[in-house]
Amino acid sequence: MGKRRGVESSIAMADAVAMCDVDAIAAYPITPQTHIVEHLSELVYNGELDAEFVPVESEHSAMSACCGMSAAGARTFTATSSQGLLLMNEIVHIVPAMRLPVVMAVANRAISAPISIWNDHGDLASVRDTGWLQIVAENGQECFDMMPLAFRVAEDKRVHLPIMVHFDGFIVSHMIEAIAYWEPEQVKEFLPPFEPQIRLDIHNPVAMGIVGVPEIYYETRLAQHQALLDSLKVIKEAFDDLERIVGRRYNVVETYNMDKAEIALVMMGSLSETAMSAVKAMKEKGIEVGIIRPRVWRPFPTEDFLAAVKNVKALGLVDRAFTFGGHSHPLATEIKSVLYGSPVQPKIAEFTLGIGGRDVKVEDIVGMYGSLVDMLEGKDVPRIQYVGVRE
Amino acid sequence: MADKYELSWKEIPMGFVFDKPMASRENLTGSWRSERPVWDHSKCIKCGVCYMYCPEGCIHETEEGYFQADYDYCKGCGICVQECWTQCIKFVPEES
């Protein structure tokens, strides 16, 4: 295993991208993502990384440049947050449809208005249907490890789709952690060179991004959907290989204390680290509760989720974003759709918290577990609770 | 082009990349036209404004220096008719 060093997660991610021998980066700075591309820019201009760094005038241009560079056969990376992700949205949809394996780190941040630079999953929720593979990391080590993984899965010839690696802005991005870097030979063993399956080549000209008339557009969309669904097995293979090479085990759905618990909360991102403390607090009260954390959000790992939840009697669905005017918020909507018609039918309560950087305390999560206990005892529990909001 | 539009979703090439450049030439957009531009050479001053403005790029200069649309591709948008300085281009319905 590589040596552990105390380093900010963003810097470690940039170092991981550099270790993956990225060819091309186009980016525009935006809080709280900035440190990643700032550090990559330093590495390029100091001559430590042989890559093309394209400083652009907006995120729309950043993703457009990434689209072009990836189409030219370059291993391509960018990073953004919140408003930046919204500004690049047009091209965010185009890149997966053109099957270009761009890797993008997204430091999750709330969406304006009001202006908030702080963390929630508003930006994550906004790109749900763009066609990117989406991994939601929990901590700095996972952020580091997901960089080689993202390039490997994205560029796999069975996948050839872009990947977003989401991680909580500030809470993870600016946290200094002890992170084990990979050895260069481990990266080399894990990540083969990029062999583009489609590329712009003057000797073999092709047309990319052509018109899809009504007679063919529908077929292209289903083909894209199936390609994304099929990528799940490639992610699992890569997780297995990652464990073999660097000794850390990742699963598409992570569980904590689920061998004993019949009460569980479903959540994504760094929140589960706080929730682990709440699980311990509940244990001290003599109640076994657990955490289910989908690490892979797209493609949604339905079978793995159902396996994780199979013994659960009371399930809490924790959202950190709004679906304005919807029946439920994004994560709850997804999970309830997965459970509908399945043999597993836990009682469900929905929660929203940690919005726009609002602090989440262990007691908040203990309170949510308390609601699930109440629900199991037959007490009335609101369908959706807005935890920590001022009434 | 016809065969491309008959693909099943399982046969769609990755990224719907099309490996026959210039294939748009096979698509004869002249069939869209309901009216065609016709030049009256007696009024034409050979200025080439019609050629400059044609969004389809389907107007070319003839050996005599006049201008003519390629009716295989002219969509009948009428921009040349509108822009002609001497109003020498008439828009004639296709049926006539």
Q: Are residues A242 and A330 in the same domain?
A: no
Residue B19 confidence (pLDDT): 84
Percent of chain A whose pLDDT exceeds 90: 98
Average confidence score pLDDT of chain A: 97
Alpha helices by DSSP H, chain B: 49-53, 79-83
Residue B25 confidence (pLDDT): 85
Residues of A in contact with B14 (CB under 8 A): 99, 160, 197-198
Query: Is the per-residue pLDDT at B96 higher than 80?
Result: no
The string of DSSP letters for A240-256 reads: HHHHHHH-----SEEEE
Backbone angles phi, psi at A187, to 5 degrees: -60, -45
Q: Are residues A190 and A273 in the same domain?
A: no
What is the β-pairing status of strands B89-93 and B35-39? antiparallel
Mean predicted confidence (pLDDT) in A227-253: 98
Query: Is the per-residue pLDDT at B59 higher than 80?
Result: yes
Residue A1 confidence (pLDDT): 59
Mean predicted confidence (pLDDT) in A274-286: 98
Residues of B in contact with A206 (CB under 8 A): 17-19, 21
Q: Are residues A242 and A257 in the same domain?
A: no
Ranges assigned E (strand) in A182-339: 253-256, 263-266, 289-294, 296-298, 314-319
Residue A22 resides in a domain: yes
Q: In terms of pLDDT, which residue wins out, A18 or B20?
A: A18
Residue B2 confidence (pLDDT): 45
Mean predicted confidence (pLDDT) in A224-233: 98
Mean predicted confidence (pLDDT) in A81-99: 98
Cβ contact A223–B12 (<8 Å): yes
Closest CA relative to residue A288, chosen from A259, A310, A308:
A259
Q: Are residues A228 and A352 in the same domain?
A: no
Whichever domain contains A216, its CATH number is 3.40.50.970
Amino acid code (one letter) for A132: W
Cβ contacts of A241-250, under 8 Å, gap ≥ 24:
A241/A190, A242/A145, A242/A148, A242/A149, A242/A190, A245/A182, A245/A186, A245/A189, A245/A190, A246/A1, A246/A2, A246/A145, A246/A180, A246/A182, A246/A186, A246/A190, A247/A1, A248/A141, A248/A145, A250/A142, A250/A145, A250/A149, A250/A295
For chain B, which domains are there?
29-93 (3.30.70.20)
**Taking CA atoms, what residue in B is nearest to A161?**
B15
Alpha helices by DSSP H, B45-84: 49-53, 79-83
- Among the partner-chain residues B5, B14, B21, the one whose CB lies closest to the CB of A207 is B21
Q: Are residues A272 and A290 in the same domain?
A: yes
Q: Are residues A111 and A188 in the same domain?
A: yes
Among A192, A226, A246, residue at a domain's last position: A246
Task: Please answer whether residues A223 and B12 qualify as being in contact, where contact means their C-beta atoms are separated by less than 8 angstroms.
Answer: yes
Q: Are residues A139 and A228 in the same domain?
A: yes
Residue B1 confidence (pLDDT): 42
Q: Which of B16, B19, B26, B27 to mutate to test the interface with A (most CBs of A within 10 A)?
A: B16
Residues of A in contact with B10 (CB under 8 A): 223
Cβ contact A219–B8 (<8 Å): yes
| B16 reaches A (C-beta below 8 A) | yes
- The parent domain of residue A278 ranges over 253-386
**The total number of structural domains that make up chain A:** 2
Q: How confident is the model at residue A45 (pLDDT cuts 50, 70, 90)?
A: very high
- Among the partner-chain residues B14, B16, B17, the one whose CB lies closest to the CB of A212 is B16
Residues of A in contact with B9 (CB under 8 A): 218-220, 222-223, 226
Residues of B in contact with A216 (CB under 8 A): 4-5, 7, 12, 16
Residue B24 confidence (pLDDT): 79
Whichever domain contains A287, its CATH number is 3.40.50.920
Mean predicted confidence (pLDDT) in A363-389: 98
Mean predicted confidence (pLDDT) in A242-264: 98
Question: Helix (H, G, I), strand (E, B), or coil: what is residue A185?
Answer: helix
Backbone angles phi, psi at A360, to 5 degrees: -110, 120
Q: How confident is the model at residue A142 (pLDDT cuts 50, 70, 90)?
A: very high
Mean predicted confidence (pLDDT) in B42-63: 97
Residue A319 resides in a domain: yes
- Tokens at A157, concatenated: 């010839």
**Taking CA atoms, what residue in B is nearest to A208?**
B17
Q: Are residues A293 and A200 in the same domain?
A: no
| B15 reaches A (C-beta below 8 A) | yes
Q: State ipTM.
A: 0.89
Rounded alpha-carbon distances, angstroms, from residue A268 to A127, A164, A313, A319: 15, 14, 20, 8
Mean predicted confidence (pLDDT) in A201-230: 95
Among A216, A246, A276, residue at a domain's last position: A246
Q: Are residues A182 and A307 in the same domain?
A: no
**Taking CA atoms, what residue in B is nearest to A227?**
B14
Query: Is the per-residue pLDDT at B20 higher than 90?
Result: no
Residue A184 resides in a domain: yes
Among A246, A276, A310, residue at a domain's last position: A246
Closest CA relative to residue A269, chosen from A29, A84, A9:
A9
Mean predicted confidence (pLDDT) in B47-62: 97
Q: Which residues contact A176 (CB under 8 A, 6 or more apart)?
A: A6, A7, A8, A9
Backbone angles phi, psi at B95, to 5 degrees: -65, -30
Report pLDDT digits (tens) over B2-15.
477 789 999 999 99
Q: Are residues A147 and A259 in the same domain?
A: no
Find the range with the poorest average confidence among A15-19, A202-206, A330-334. Answer: A202-206
Residue A391 resides in a domain: no
Cβ contact A204–B19 (<8 Å): yes
d(CA B80, CA B39): 10
What is the β-pairing status of strands A163-168 and A133-136? parallel
d(CA B53, CA B32): 19
Percent of chain B whose pLDDT exceeds 70: 96
d(CA A282, CA A261): 11
Q: Which residues contact A333 (CB under 8 A, 6 or more apart)?
A: A323, A326, A327
Cα three-residue angle A357-A362-A365, rounded to 5 degrees: 85
Mean predicted confidence (pLDDT) in A84-96: 98
Please enumerate residues of A whose Cβ is less than 8 A from a Cβ of B.
97-100, 160, 197-198, 204-208, 210, 212-213, 215-216, 218-220, 222-223, 226
Cβ contact A223–B10 (<8 Å): yes
Report pLDDT digits (tens) over A306-363.
999 999 999 999 999 999 999 999 999 999 999 999 999 999 999 999 999 999 999 9
Percent of chain A whose pLDDT exceeds 70: 99
Query: Is the per-residue pLDDT at A67 higher than 80?
Result: yes
Question: Helix (H, G, I), strand (E, B), or coil: what is residue A201?
Answer: coil
Q: Are residues A241 and A265 in the same domain?
A: no
Q: Are residues A94 and A136 in the same domain?
A: yes
